[in-house]
Amino acid sequence: MISIQTKRYSFNLKKNFPFEFKTLTQQFFRVKLYSSMATFNRTTLEEVLKKRFFYTPSFQIYGAVAGFYDYGPPGCALQANIIDLWRRHFILEEDMLEMDGSIMTPAEVLKTSGHVDKFTDWMVKDSLKTSDIYRADHLIKQELETRLEGDKQARAKLDGNVQSEKSKKKNDKSQMVKLEDSVKAEYEDIITRISNYNGVEIGEVIRKYNIKSPETGNDLTEPEEFNLMFESSIGPTGHQKGYLRPETAQGQFLNFKRFLEFNNDKMPFASASIGRSFRNEISPRSGLIRVREFTMAEIEHYVDPNNKTHSRFNEVKDIKLRLVPRSVQSEGKMDPIEMAIGEAVEKKIVDNETLGYFLARTYLFLTKLGIKPDRLRFRQHMPNEMAHYACDCWDADIHNSYGWIECVGCADRSAYDLTVHSNRTKEKLVVRENLAEPMIYDKTVLEINKKVFGPKLRQNSKTVEDYLTSLNEEQLEALKKALEDGNGTTKVPGTDGNQYEITSEYLTIKRQTFTEHVREYTPNVIEPSFGIGRILYSLIEHVYWTRKDDEQRSVLSFPPRVAPFKCLLVPLSNNPAFTDLVDELAKRIRKLSIAIKVDDSSNSIGRRYARNDELGTPFAITIDFQSVNDRTITLRERDSTKQIRENIDTILQVLKDLLEESTTWEKVMETYPTFTQQELD
């Protein structure tokens, strides 16, 4: 998942790593506001999530540790339902080969993948208080944004739009100082590009713009690279270094041969894995968005590099996506183009069918979860963001109150990963394809005349032979010519660097015809990679609203399929008359494998409904005195708060149909009379 890049691109290393804020894209977004966000208040939502135990900082009674969260019952069920849908939507639907691999990974594997050397962030320390450590790009961005805010206020004042100090937002540390126009432009440029800067460049910015340690005002140290992997040691010797995996992908690549065999050697196919990964952030922030331990779901789809069509592309080709291709971004804009994925592939905006197929399938998955289509976009990586080997890469960005957050990365990684692991381990990670027609071709080959070569070159024969056997066809032809030009004698270097004389007696260089019945190739990998926590948090924001009549009443309108609990079961009060019927119904509903929540607490029924609206429970069955007499019960729908009243069997059947999506609440309301309840509280 992480991009390993050539020297030339190395300053862009982490751009291809999903789950990274996009400084650039956030900047562009700042001007926009979505209708659904107009009344959004993150503080209120966070209170609801805390109160209902969706999630909580881990180890809180020990003071918590930044970047670690525990999911409580509703968060845990929500996550399980998202994962379940992901498994059905991708793995089952497409016959993917799922694996569950080790988290602890020997250093050698991650050395080969490039993570040991390049999976780093730049950090700076306070020069006097060295326990204050900052992620350099975030620190610079924050400081320059504060200065720009101060400039904005100063300019507004000059224009006569005086802003009172009181109207400032909390935490706004900006000071009203007007900047030179050129300085302002420089700041804006740096903010856009800072996440691509290397250590030297970061150091220059800090010195040039006099950026200090924010808490103390002290100087900052020179930027240092900090590897983001958690390190450990395996076994009792202390000599075997291991890291917690930063992604599940490497475990999949290492098992490629077994997957291919399991798939009866048929191509293309995909492996997939869902599991915990780790990233030792310098300074985690933004709640569930930037954490040190997270659940990911990754697909590695292996294709023939010569054929990246997809057999099911036809099924998705008309799906319209909001794309932000390179061409738009290079004009400094972020406005999405709405386009059918079929057209985008045809116009080569998206590189190939398989990549396009996964973008469309990702769109279907996210919207099925409840992500709002107008807060979802697919942004293409700029060439300088991508790894040198990648063909194309798109992020699914979901908008939430932290900005546009990269939640899914979808990259065509070419043959990079399989190639590096194969080179390192000498294990062939290739596909062998039987050719319908044999492939016949000529090739220049070298034959060494052992009888002369060894005796003549003696102790130097190995170094010369190693050099000669490393030559490609072109070099062999050149050598042949050199021998001809030198009347059968020339000099060649050994692998030791010395020059040795050879004659045409030593070897033969000739064209030879080969016939091959099998084509061997390293597959390319197309990798859709999902950050489950980011998707989960964005989803919560997308389905959150407060009732018009009462802003204190929050609702989480999860689609039933992902709602943590599907149905609330409540007696009107905690009167013992209801107990038997509650038990009977609870048993029957559980038998239908429906996750229910029984609330027979002494709270008013209105409060119990409100509590379950906050949990996002889509339906509620209520048992009242009439129920005990005539065995009718009511079914309430969360969003409309409307109810119907029917006998138990009918209600349970309706509930089952609603959850299996064979009916909708609208249809139910058409079929059964609305039940108007007496005052509740």
Residues 573-592 that bind a copy of itself (CB under 8 A): 590
Provide the 10 A C-beta neighbour count for residue 446: 17
From candidates 46, 47, 70, 584, binder to a copy of itself by CB under 8 A? 70
376 pairs with which residues across the strands? 398
From candidates 167, 237, 629, 662, binder to a copy of itself by CB under 8 A? 237
Least gap, CB of 278 to a copy of itself (angstroms): 7
Stretch binding a copy of itself (CB under 8 A), from 53-61, 210-218, 354-362, 377-385: 53-61
Is the CB of 42 or the CB of 50 nearer to a copy of itself?
50
Least gap, CB of 25 to a copy of itself (angstroms): 26
- The Cα–Cα gap between 525 and 418 comes to 9
Strands 392-400 and 376-380: antiparallel
- Applying CB under 8 A, what is the total number of residues that bind a copy of itself? 83
CB 572 within 8 A of CB 625: yes
**Under rule CB under 8 A, residue 539 binds a copy of itself:** no
Contacts with 382 (C-beta within 8 Å, 6 or more apart), sequence order: 326, 329, 330
- The Cα–Cα gap between 197 and 183 comes to 19
Stretch binding a copy of itself (CB under 8 A), from 39-47, 96-104, 450-458, 621-629: 96-104
**Under rule CB under 8 A, residue 98 binds a copy of itself:** yes
Is the CB of 98 or the CB of 473 nearer to a copy of itself?
98
Binding pattern for the stretch 129-168 against a copy of itself, x by CB under 8 A and - elsewhere: --x-x-----------------------------------
**Under rule CB under 8 A, residue 106 binds a copy of itself:** yes
Q: Which two tokens stand for residue 662?
A: 């064979």
Torsion sign (Cα): 57, 62, 67, 70: negative
Is the CB of 170 or the CB of 239 nearer to a copy of itself?
239
Contacts with 207 (C-beta within 8 Å, 6 or more apart), sequence order: none
**Under rule CB under 8 A, residue 226 binds a copy of itself:** yes
Least gap, CB of 61 to a copy of itself (angstroms): 4
225 pairs with which residues across the strands? 122
Residues 403-432 that bind a copy of itself (CB under 8 A): 421, 424-425, 427, 429
Q: Is the peptide bond before 268 cis (omega within 30 degrees of 0)?
A: yes
What 3-state DSSP class applies to 233?
strand
Strands 567-571 and 596-598: parallel
- The Cα–Cα gap between 231 and 471 comes to 41
- State residue 618 phi and psi, 5-degree precision: -70, -30
Work out the burial of residue 29: count CB atoms within 10 Å of its CB; fewer than 13 is exposed, 13-18 middle, 19 or more buried.
Answer: middle
What distance, in Å, lies between the first and last C-alpha atoms of the chain? 54
**Under rule CB under 8 A, residue 99 binds a copy of itself:** yes
From candidates 231, 338, 346, 516, binder to a copy of itself by CB under 8 A? 231
- The Cα–Cα gap between 371 and 365 comes to 9
CB 531 within 8 A of CB 294: yes
Is the CB of 103 or the CB of 391 nearer to a copy of itself?
103
Residues 653-672 that bind a copy of itself (CB under 8 A): none
431 pairs with which residues across the strands? 521
Is the CB of 226 or the CB of 672 nearer to a copy of itself?
226
**Chain position carrying tokens 């009439």:** 626
From candidates 92, 158, 185, 364, binder to a copy of itself by CB under 8 A? 92
- The Cα–Cα gap between 615 and 558 comes to 9
Residues 293-312 that bind a copy of itself (CB under 8 A): 293
CB 299 within 8 A of CB 286: no
**Under rule CB under 8 A, residue 102 binds a copy of itself:** yes
Q: Which two tokens stand for residue 313?
A: 């592309």
Residues 258-277 that bind a copy of itself (CB under 8 A): 258-259, 261-262, 264, 266, 275-276
**Under rule CB under 8 A, residue 292 binds a copy of itself:** yes
Is the CB of 79 or the CB of 490 nearer to a copy of itself?
79
- The Cα–Cα gap between 675 and 668 comes to 12
**Chain position carrying tokens 């050879």:** 502
From candidates 60, 469, 508, 664, binder to a copy of itself by CB under 8 A? 60
- The Cα–Cα gap between 257 and 102 comes to 17
From candidates 593, 662, 676, 678, binder to a copy of itself by CB under 8 A? 593
Name the strand (E) or helix (H) holding 253. helix 249-254
Least gap, CB of 533 to a copy of itself (angstroms): 10
From candidates 19, 28, 71, 453, binder to a copy of itself by CB under 8 A? 71
Is the CB of 15 or the CB of 421 nearer to a copy of itself?
421
**Under rule CB under 8 A, residue 35 binds a copy of itself:** no
Least gap, CB of 571 to a copy of itself (angstroms): 14
Stretch binding a copy of itself (CB under 8 A), from 236-244, 386-394, 547-555, 620-628: 236-244
Least gap, CB of 112 to a copy of itself (angstroms): 8
- The Cα–Cα gap between 266 and 115 comes to 31
Contacts with 87 (C-beta within 8 Å, 6 or more apart), sequence order: 98, 274
**Under rule CB under 8 A, residue 595 binds a copy of itself:** yes
Stretch binding a copy of itself (CB under 8 A), from 280-288, 337-345, 470-478, 650-658: 280-288
Least gap, CB of 173 to a copy of itself (angstroms): 24
**Under rule CB under 8 A, residue 244 binds a copy of itself:** yes
- The Cα–Cα gap between 78 and 63 comes to 26
Stretch binding a copy of itself (CB under 8 A), from 102-110, 347-355, 379-387, 480-488: 102-110
514 pairs with which residues across the strands? 441
Least gap, CB of 60 to a copy of itself (angstroms): 7
Residues 477-536 that bind a copy of itself (CB under 8 A): none
**Under rule CB under 8 A, residue 236 binds a copy of itself:** yes
From candidates 7, 30, 38, 100, binder to a copy of itself by CB under 8 A? 100
Least gap, CB of 106 to a copy of itself (angstroms): 5
**Under rule CB under 8 A, residue 88 binds a copy of itself:** yes
Contacts with 195 (C-beta within 8 Å, 6 or more apart), sequence order: 14, 15, 20, 21, 23, 24, 137
Residue 640: alpha-carbon gap to chain centroid = 34
